[in-house]
Structure 1
Amino acid sequence: MRFLSLQGKLAAVLAAVAVAAAGLALLVQRGFDDLRLSLPLLVLFLVLAVLPLARVLSARSAALFRALTGSVTSFKDGDFSFSIATDQRDELGELVQAHNELGRVLRDERQGLFQRELLLDTVVQNTPTAMVLVEPGGHVVYANIAARQLLNAGSPLQGLAFDTVVAESPPAFAHAVADGGDTLFTVALDGEDETFHFSQRSFKLQGRQHRMYLIKRMTRELSRQEVATWKKVIRVISHELNNSLAPISSLAHSGRVLAGKGDTQRLGAVFDTIEDRARHLHGFIRGYAEFAKLPQPRLEEVSWQAVLDAIARQFPDIQVAAAPEQRGWFDRSQIEQVLINLVKNAHEAGGPAAEIELAVVQRPGEARIEVRDRGSGMSEAVLANALLPFYSTKRSGSGLGLALAREIAEAHGGRIVLANREGGGLCVTLVLPRA
């Protein structure tokens, strides 16, 4: 027990009171022989002495308790600027020191939080992406500078009904909002067409469901991408045309020379080669035309068993898993074409044909069609670019097979996923949403 602790101080006071009471009792006993008179006088004297002593001893502690109560109330109200000064070295002094340290930590954390909020607000306010936050009642609770300029001519949006803002905006934006997902839309601004990427997400904020809308101007990015794509298309087409036209021109000259010499026996081989190169060039151009003219899918209920049977008839050497009982919802001809291309790619990957697997897996909300092989797989660079149009690692490839598969998958609201398999090989997954 420490002497300066509350317990030590209380013990010292009680001991002093006990000694004083004992001495007073002896004095009273000597002065008064009658105990009936001396005992009440002793009790009265002790009460009158103890009450002021208790008040004096508890005054500083009571003042500190009142100060602590007021400071804690300030903390509850968000004011962490209070601290309490004391020179007491007992438990109450330690409590005051802990309280002051808590206030310092809260002040530092609040200052750091304020700085982070200021930085975040500065970034959000100055980002070129328009951001609008809408509360469950449909009113705008936050909009950055880009959103105000884009949707309300620079005026504040807070408090406005988002439906009213949408109704006063171009129809393309209203259609994008009604679509409920991520999309691109184009509107005319200052006489020029501008393309925007629109996305929307729902999340809980302070226990309530809010919705965030993001609008990003994409015209420059799309223009740069379009130019890069056109350059790549021109390079690929020029390469293929030169590979076919150069030998055709050379063979035509050779045929003219042979015809002038009357050597008709060798003309047949010349014409056969010219015909072969022309057929290759025609197929190359037809592939590009099919990619450019891909029609919108005609969705309908389709039996998975019928689709897998059709693929199995064309590729009897592959493994086809049992079809799920649930029916799919897609354009059968387009999906079958995708699966044919994927199985052909699996054959060309170099692995055994008997180890190529085709399976359909039904999951909540989606169907996954997997084509697995045991070929050489893909490097990280090839995986990153394999779905891009005109990208091919094959010498005679057009780079349109997987790009066409991705185009068809996305037209169905799905996607294509490529992944290397453990033990070698590739797994190509076509993910389609269920009806």
Structure 2
Amino acid sequence: MALLPLKPGRSGLYLGAALLLGGFALLLWYALPQHYVVFAGYAALVLLLLLWLLLRSYLRQLDTEVMALNLQADSLRDQSFNLTANRAVLRELTPLAEALNQMSAELAQQRATLYQRELLLDTVLQTNPSALILTDEQGRVLFSNPAARHLLSGGRRFDGSYFSAVLADWPELLKACQAGAQGLIHAGDAQNVWHLSVSPFRLNQREHLLYQLKPMTREFKQEEIKAWKKLIRVIGHELNNSLAPMSSLAFSGARLVKKPDFSAADQAQLAQMFAVIGERATQLNQFLQAYLNFAKLPPPQPSLVHFASLINNLQNQYEFELLGDLPRSEWFLDSAQLTQLLLNLLKNAGEAGASIAGTTLSFRELPHQLVLELQDDGGGLSAEVLQHALVPFYTTKPQGSGIGLTLCRDIMESHGGSLELFNQSAGLLVRLTFPRIAATSLPGI
């Protein structure tokens, strides 16, 4: 069926013209004198013949134009946008033909743009190193790219299969996909690390899921090697800084003891050497203990926090000002780890030269969050230090280990919270945000 049914009804036009001329002839019949009646009849017949010829010519022209436009409309229906109506036969319907030509040009441009986008999208999907799997609401695979087939089925296609059947040999991955888990997961064995992303969306009024799976094992191994190398360099540097002077002092002490005229002054000097060796040994032990504590951070054990006791404990070790009121609601956190975290931050503030009055701690309760803000007036951090402050082993202190703030960040992340650093006023602002944990979710409650 044509898109433009524009052919006019010829019989209707002919009947209308005949009635018009018939009425005109009757009017002449009654209005003119009797001797003019025959003349009027002949005139009416001539007019009727002339009108018929004009209508026939006009309708033939209109029929030709309509056929030309119908051909163009049929080509548009068949998605062929190159055919246009013959302008040589167009007169009355020229505006309509121009509108069709404009619509045809716009549709052609849109199709070309859509084709280019589809080609680009297909190229991206086919060459993407991440495994991409699209499933419908029943879990049946609708699309998988080469990376997914190579990763999960040895290069074989599995479109049309159920995704759960494809992941039968990957129970950890199957469990994560069914739970809609996001982030890093270990699958296959402890050495395989993947990043899983699950994105639900509606397509053709139906729910679909797009799974993106990126192997991260190689990257993690490279980062692990870098971390170990950096750790060995840091520990080796600290060991060398402590052991070299200790060895030198021990050698000097041994020579001093062997002197035949060992005097009281030599004894005092020897005692001083032993004191220096002991001090260096203590510092080295503290340094190694800090690394051990960092590596052995246990999972948090949330319990009801008594903030008054917590503040008293902190102020017994570091002086600071408490701004505002303590939290009035019940908050369940690991009190020991929270204390360790705040002690590290207060220690950093003191080492930065913050004053007692300029070191403040405040609490802010939100419906689902507890926000702690520690502000000091120690001058803040440079842009470079602020950018790398939470990077493990990064430090600007001569005797620093570079794990203090990293340990604080890990404590916050283990609680599901966040740690943020800002240069504000005359010093550094540390913002700690803890999510609310319901008492009913704790074991034994």
* Partner Cα separation in structure 1 for residue 337 and residue 287 of structure 2: 20
Partner of residue 181, structure 2: 180
Structure 2 SS opposite 1:286: helix
Q: Match for 1:174: what amino acid?
A: L
Alpha-carbon contact 2:323-2:362 (below 8 Å) kept: yes
Residue from 222, 225, 237 that aligns with 2:223:
225
What is the CA distance between 1:214 and its match in structure 2?
Answer: 1.7
Partner of residue 389, structure 2: 386
Structure 1 SS opposite 2:267: coil
Q: Match for 2:225: what amino acid?
A: V
Partner of residue 243, structure 1: 241
Residue from 375, 393, 407 that aligns with 1:372:
375
User: Residues 159-209 of structure 1: CA distance to partner in whole angstroms, max 9, x if unpaired?
Assistant: 33233333x032221343336221231424xxx943222222334445544
Partner of residue 54, structure 2: 53
* Partner Cα separation in structure 2 for residue 328 and residue 203 of structure 1: 37
Structure 1 SS opposite 2:129: coil
User: Residues 57-114 of structure 1: CA distance to partner in whole angstroms, max 9, x if unpaired?
Assistant: 3554565556556756765775544433324787842442343233223322322321
TM-score normalised by L of structure 1: 0.79
What is the CA distance between 1:55 and its match in structure 2?
Answer: 5.3
Note closer, same or farther for the CA distance 1:284–1:127 as it changes in structure 2 (3 Å cut).
Answer: same
Structure 1 unaligned residues grouped into runs of 5+: 1-16
Partner of residue 11, structure 1: none
Structure 1 stretch 72-81 or stretch 277-286: which is displaced more?
A: 72-81
The answer on 1:428 being equivalent to 2:430 is yes
TM-score normalised by L of structure 2: 0.78
Q: Match for 1:356: what amino acid?
A: T
Q: Match for 2:258: what amino acid?
A: G
RMSD (Å), alpha carbons: 3.8
Structure 2 SS opposite 1:285: helix
What is the CA distance between 1:401 and its match in structure 2?
Answer: 0.9
What is the CA distance between 1:266 and its match in structure 2?
Answer: 1.7
Q: Match for 2:161: what amino acid?
A: L
Partner of residue 298, structure 1: 301
Partner of residue 144, structure 1: 145
Note closer, same or farther for the CA distance 1:160–1:397 as it changes in structure 2 (3 Å cut).
Answer: same
Structure 2 unaligned residues grouped into runs of 5+: 1-16, 438-445
The answer on 1:121 being equivalent to 2:119 is no
Partner of residue 4, structure 2: none
User: Residues 369-399 of structure 1: CA distance to partner in whole angstroms, max 9, x if unpaired?
Assistant: 3333344333343233221211112221100
What is the CA distance between 1:132 and its match in structure 2?
Answer: 1.5
* Partner Cα separation in structure 1 for residue 375 and residue 42 of structure 2: 105
Alpha-carbon contact 2:181-2:196 (below 8 Å) kept: no
Partner of residue 131, structure 1: 132
Structure 1 stretch 276-285 or stretch 126-135: which is displaced more?
A: 126-135
Note closer, same or farther for the CA distance 1:269–1:314 as it changes in structure 2 (3 Å cut).
Answer: closer
Partner of residue 208, structure 2: 210
Partner of residue 158, structure 2: 157
Note closer, same or farther for the CA distance 1:335–1:108 as it changes in structure 2 (3 Å cut).
Answer: same
What is the CA distance between 1:275 and its match in structure 2?
Answer: 0.7
* Partner Cα separation in structure 2 for residue 79 and residue 362 of structure 1: 65
* Partner Cα separation in structure 1 for residue 163 and residue 43 of structure 2: 83
* Partner Cα separation in structure 1 for residue 204 and residue 367 of structure 2: 30
Alpha-carbon contact 2:364-2:372 (below 8 Å) kept: yes
Partner of residue 100, structure 1: 101
Structure 1 stretch 291-300 or stretch 389-398: which is displaced more?
A: 291-300
User: Residues 35-56 of structure 1: CA distance to partner in whole angstroms, max 9, x if unpaired?
Assistant: 8888888777656654653454
Residue from 274, 277, 280 that aligns with 1:277:
280
Partner of residue 5, structure 2: none
* Partner Cα separation in structure 1 for residue 305 and residue 66 of structure 2: 77
Alpha-carbon contact 2:370-2:434 (below 8 Å) kept: yes
Structure 1 SS opposite 2:209: strand
Partner of residue 171, structure 2: 171
Partner of residue 410, structure 2: 407
* Partner Cα separation in structure 2 for residue 304 and residue 134 of structure 1: 50
Residue from 317, 322, 335 that aligns with 2:320:
317
What is the CA distance between 1:299 and its match in structure 2?
Answer: 3.4
Structure 2 SS opposite 1:220: helix
Q: Match for 2:402: what amino acid?
A: G
1:314-353 mapped onto 2 (5 Å cutoff): 314-353=317-356
User: Residues 380-422 of structure 1: CA distance to partner in whole angstroms, max 9, x if unpaired?
Assistant: 432332212111122211000111122222223333333333x
What is the CA distance between 1:317 and its match in structure 2?
Answer: 2.0
Alpha-carbon contact 2:301-2:333 (below 8 Å) kept: yes
Structure 2 SS opposite 1:384: helix
Note closer, same or farther for the CA distance 1:399–1:94 as it changes in structure 2 (3 Å cut).
Answer: same
Partner of residue 7, structure 1: none
Structure 2 SS opposite 1:355: coil
The answer on 1:201 being equivalent to 2:203 is no
* Partner Cα separation in structure 1 for residue 99 and residue 426 of structure 2: 62
Structure 2 SS opposite 1:187: coil
What is the CA distance between 1:264 and its match in structure 2?
Answer: 1.0
Alpha-carbon contact 2:65-2:89 (below 8 Å) kept: no
Residue from 398, 418, 422 that aligns with 2:421:
418
Partner of residue 4, structure 1: none
Note closer, same or farther for the CA distance 1:76–1:181 as it changes in structure 2 (3 Å cut).
Answer: farther
Q: Match for 1:153: what amino acid?
A: G
